[in-house]
Structure 1
Amino acid sequence: MSVFTTFPQLSDGFLRDLKKVIDDGFRSFTRSYGDVIEGFFSPLQTLLIWFERLLLNTPWPVILLIVAGLAWGASRSWRIVIGSVVTLVLIGMFGMWTDTMKTVSMILAATLLSIAIGLPLGVLMARSPRTQAILNPVLDVMQTMPSFVYLIPVVMLLGIGRVPGLIAVVIYALPPMIRLTNLGIRQVDREVLEATDAFGSSSWQKLIKAQLPLALPTIMAGINQTIMMALAMVVIASMIGVQGLGQPVLRAISNQYFTLGLFNGFAIVGIAILFDRISQAWGKRLQKHREASHD
């Protein structure tokens, strides 16, 4: 038999001991600092509860009007407005309104956190090649790691519930926000930057008055991708207690309830299309505004 038919491996005993050391070390860390970490993330619980109560306590006609207003403000298209309203009406008529609002509250919280974290990191990457060199491999790992894997360390640190689910969703949805913010700022016309330098603008003024406004369409594309990835991860996060449309889907898989899974699956698709169309329309509108002002 050729020596190349089997790959040389570490001994089973060494691998077993190595895995045991890592697992025991992580468990010891969670026992020692779990309460501290849980307290640190407690504001996220408050944020989630606030969003959830806001959406659940708001009468459905008001939510329909708000969504219609956002759709019209973004697209100026009656087709998108009617499609958005009809989608929500059908979701409510099929008895999925409460679960949908819980899912939307999670997406809103995750998107806000992703913007709050991703925007500064994207700016930092655009300004510092060293930071970009450090963050790029991290972002590659975050984007290629199977989404289920994120649940393991989060659950071991914080247990089962909405906050661990939110953290997992943010980790999964964050990379597009960082990458596209970085890309948008790097694509700003050098002539514009030279003009701001000629007027004696500081680095902060250049960022606020030139780079971010001109990069806004690309940043909006990052927000769009973040929303889509957050929605995909919310369904997976239902495995660790995140309430919303994901739990009925998980229950349907476990108990082979075809219609339950199908209806909730269509609701998830409807919400995804709604978010996608409105956020894309805002991005295109900002792009047109940018081109008009540039001309």
Structure 2
Amino acid sequence: MSEETTFNILNPFTSLDLGIASWADGIKGWAIANRSAIQPLKRVINDTIMGFEGVLQAIPPVITIAFFVLLAWQLCGQRVAVIVGVSLIALGLLDPTIWPLAMTTLAIVLSSVLICIVIGLPIGILAAKSDRFHTIIRPILDTMQTIPAFVYLVPVVMLVGIGNVSGVIVTIVFALPPLIRLTSLGIRQVDSNVVEAARAFGANPLQIMFKVELPLATPTIMAGVNQTIMLALSMVVIASMIAVKGLGNEVLRAMGRLDAGKAIVGGLGIVLLAIVLDRITQGVTQTGRERGYRHWWQGGPIGLLLWAITFLRRPSAAATEAASGGDTVQISSASSEG
């Protein structure tokens, strides 16, 4: 015979049951029964991951390092390029087997960030334009940021199963809110006088959005992208609990075997990847004054290439001018003799 629970006014919670656990079990059954509905989304995410991973794994490490160094030099300057180069070389030297794992992790992070940008930018723009929508979405974003990351694993595994796709979905849910918040904040902070001036010159709403508001809000938006990348990297180890490959899985396996060396190597690899991505994304937010030149293509390797082309053209132009000058002198002397 089950014991009857008497209601205690000083401790009412022991005798109250709202049935939340049973309700959650019902959601679990619905999710398992409707897995087929999410398969198209799963294929899209899987193709994105495989595309990034295929490219990163096929390119030799030296070429990958050279690409990131040149990209950092173009966007951020020589100092950051050196930091990026040293970080990637140190990443490769940590362990002979760590580079493929790092490229898998990078592919998962890039896929997550790309999907976050595709989803987050339109929602952030809509939140900036509509106060009502901003009021509705704000508590949702608060909930997404405050719920422990482990809680996301269970419903995603029920819907999708384990693997890299589940890891990307969990990472998207965890890393998306900063991008939405900072996109909305950046657009809302655009000077209203600038918008009014553009409207006075006949700009329509789309032109104001893409030629005035978004360019002026780019530093704030890129700060949101930067935060999204950092949060995505922080989810690498947690997502490895649902069989997500890469450095996070290496750390998790090392922890299970109490292998401190492998755990430290995997953790350092994640840190070095974070340094590379953080420095490159911060360089995008630099203004022309901070770079020391007006346009991004006026410096770095592209600027050096343009300068070299201009320098090589100068002798030919001078030779052409000298030749035309010599012909003029000959014509003048001939006319004087006549």
TM-score (norm 1): 0.91
Give, in whole Å, the separation in 1 of the partners of 2:11 and 2:23.
Answer: 24
2:100 corresponds in structure 1 to 98
Give, in whole Å, the separation in 2 of the partners of 1:205 and 1:4.
Answer: 64
SS in 1 for 2:34: helix
User: In the TM superposition, what whole-angstrom CA distance separates every residue of 1:35-58 from its partner, at most 9, and x where no partner exists?
Assistant: 111233211111111111110001
Give, in whole Å, the separation in 2 of the partners of 1:64 and 1:285.
Answer: 26
1:232 corresponds in structure 2 to 234
Instruction: Compute the displacement of 1:201 (Å).
Output: 1.4
2:13 corresponds in structure 1 to 9
Q: Say if 1:80 and 1:4 are closer, same or farther in 2 by CA, change over 3 A.
A: farther
SS in 1 for 2:235: helix
1:31 corresponds in structure 2 to 32
1:154 to 140, 153, 156: 156
4+ runs deviating over 6 angstroms: none
Q: Say if 1:150 and 1:187 are closer, same or farther in 2 by CA, change over 3 A.
A: same
1:172 corresponds in structure 2 to 174
TM-score (norm 2): 0.80
Instruction: Compute the displacement of 1:74 (Å).
Output: 1.8
Give, in whole Å, the separation in 2 of the partners of 1:256 and 1:131.
Answer: 49
Figure out how many residues of one structure are paired with residues of the other and give that number.
Answer: 285
Instruction: Compute the displacement of 1:125 (Å).
Output: 0.4
1:269 to 261, 268, 271: 271
User: In the TM superposition, what whole-angstrom CA distance separates every residue of 1:51-75 from its partner, at most 9, and x where no partner exists?
Assistant: 1111000111211111001111121
Q: Which structure: larger Rg?
A: 2
Give, in whole Å, the separation in 2 of the partners of 1:30 and 1:105.
Answer: 28
Give, in whole Å, the separation in 2 of the partners of 1:32 and 1:4.
Answer: 41
2:60 corresponds in structure 1 to 59
User: In the TM superposition, what whole-angstrom CA distance separates every residue of 1:205-229 from its partner, at most 9, and x where no partner exists?
Assistant: 1101100011001111011000000
2:116 to 114, 117, 138: 114
SS in 1 for 2:285: helix
SS in 1 for 2:108: helix
Instruction: Compute the displacement of 1:7 (Å).
Output: 3.5
Q: Say if 1:264 and 1:40 are closer, same or farther in 2 by CA, change over 3 A.
A: closer
Aligned partner of 2:244: which letter? V
1:283 corresponds in structure 2 to 285
Q: Which moved more, 1:201-210 or 1:80-89?
A: 80-89
Give, in whole Å, the separation in 2 of the partners of 1:269 and 1:67.
Answer: 16
Gapped regions of structure 1 (runs ≥ 5):
none
Give, in whole Å, the separation in 2 of the partners of 1:275 and 1:287.
Answer: 23
1:74 corresponds in structure 2 to 75
Instruction: Compute the displacement of 1:281 (Å).
Output: 2.1
1:211 corresponds in structure 2 to 213
Instruction: Compute the displacement of 1:252 (Å).
Output: 1.4
Kindly indicate whether the alpha-carbon contact (under 8 Å) linking 2:116 and 2:175 is maintained by their aligned counterparts in 1: yes
SS in 1 for 2:184: helix
Alignment RMSD (CA, Å): 2.0
User: In the TM superposition, what whole-angstrom CA distance separates every residue of 1:4-28 from its partner, at most 9, and x where no partner exists?
Assistant: 995421526x35xx14531332122
Q: Which moved more, 1:251-260 or 1:32-41?
A: 32-41
Kindly indicate whether the alpha-carbon contact (under 8 Å) linking 1:217 and 1:286 is maintained by their aligned counterparts in 2: no
User: In the TM superposition, what whole-angstrom CA distance separates every residue of 1:114-152 from its partner, at most 9, and x where no partner exists?
Assistant: 111110011000000000000100000111111111111
Give, in whole Å, the separation in 1 of the partners of 2:22 and 2:148.
Answer: 24
Gapped regions of structure 2 (runs ≥ 5):
1-6, 296-338
Kindly indicate whether the alpha-carbon contact (under 8 Å) linking 2:32 and 2:158 is maintained by their aligned counterparts in 1: no
2:198 corresponds in structure 1 to 196
Q: Say if 1:209 and 1:256 are closer, same or farther in 2 by CA, change over 3 A.
A: same
Instruction: Compute the displacement of 1:286 (Å).
Output: 6.5
2:83 corresponds in structure 1 to 83
Kindly indicate whether the alpha-carbon contact (under 8 Å) linking 2:87 and 2:275 is maintained by their aligned counterparts in 1: no
Aligned partner of 1:8: which letter? P
